[in-house]
Amino acid sequence: MPVNYDVEKIGANMKIKLAVMSGWFGNLSHVEMVEQVTAYGFKAFENLGAGRWEDKEAVRAKCEELGVEVGAISCSGSINGDGPVNPAFHDKFEADVKQSIINAKALGTKVVLVVVGGLRYDMSLEQQMENVAIAGRRVAPLLEDAGITLVYETLNIKVDHAGYALVTSKQGSDLVKAIGSPNIKFLFDVYHQQITEGDVIRNLTAYKNEIGHYHFGDNPGRREPGTGELNYKQIFKAIAATGYDGIVSSEFSKSKELSLEDLLRVLADCATW
C-alpha cells in the first residue's frame, strides 16, 4: 500500500508535539511511514525499538527533510530482571548507553529510555535507588557530550508490572535530583502514574523540572483518549503550561473498531485548543 498524500492534515493545529506510534502504519516502510505521518499533519512518531532499525539513517534524513521528530528509543535495563539497581549491571549499563547514543544519533532522536530493573530483596530500596544514581552519574558525561537525554521510566506495579523498582513520580524526581545532570530525567507515563498515584496534573506540574519525556494512554484499558477516565485535553494543556516543549508520545493499543483516521482525529482534538 503506497503513501496516500491526498489526506486531511488532521494534526496541523495541535498545540503540543504529539507522537503517533509507527506501528499504526504497518503496511509502509519506515521511510514511507514518516511521509504518511507528515501527510496527516503530525510532526513526531515513536517506536522504542527503532534504535535497532537497519534503515535508521534513511529515516533520519527523511525526518530532517519533512520536519518530523523522533521519540524515545530503548536503551538499557529490564522491568523484572536485571538493571542499574544492581551494581554488577553497571558495566553493561555503560556499554548499553554508549551503543544507544550511537543509535540515537543515527536515527535522529534525542531521548533514550531506561528501565531500572526488578526490585531486589538483598538490599534496601534506598540502596537500590542509590545504585541507580551511581550508574547515572557514571554515564552523565557521555550523555552531556552527545546532547542526548536519558530518561528513567516509572511504571505501575498494581496492574501491569508487579516487582518493578521505580514506581512513583517522587521517586523519579528524587533520583534525577540525586544524579544532578541536565541530561538525565524521568519519563512520566500518564497511564502508569494515574494507576500508581492519580493527581496527574498536580504531579506533572510539581515535577516538571525532572520530567524529560511523556507517554500516554487512557485508563483503564490502555487505549486511546476517550475510552477511560482521563481528560486528555486538560492534561495536554497542563503539560504545555509547564513549558515542556518535547515530544508527548502515544503508547497504547487502539480500539479495533476505530479507523486510523478516526484515531488521529481523537488525538488531534485532545491536543488542539
Number of domains in the chain: 1
> Alpha carbon 154 to chain centroid distance?
11
Residues in the chain where the model's pLDDT stays below 70: 1
pLDDT of residue 137: 98
Quote the domain boundaries for residue 169. 17-270
3-class DSSP assignment, residue 39 = helix
pLDDT of residue 222: 98
DSSP 164: B
Q: How many CB atoms lie within 10 A of CB 23?
A: 13
Q: Kindly state the cell numbers that stand for 206.
A: 510539581
Return the residue matching grid coordinates 483516521. Answer: 261
Q: Is 216 among the domain residues?
A: yes
pLDDT of residue 26: 86
pLDDT of residue 220: 98
Q: Is 3 among the domain residues?
A: no
Output the domain CATH number for residue 254. Answer: 3.20.20.150
Confidence (pTM): 0.97
Q: Is 188 among the domain residues?
A: yes
Sheet holding 73-76, edge to edge: 69-70, 44-46, 17-21, 247-250, 211-216, 184-189, 149-153, 111-114, 73-76
Q: Kindly state the cell numbers that stand for 61.
A: 534524513
pLDDT of residue 186: 99
Q: Are residues 37 and 25 in contact, defined by beta-carbon separation less than 8 angstroms?
A: yes
pLDDT of residue 1: 62
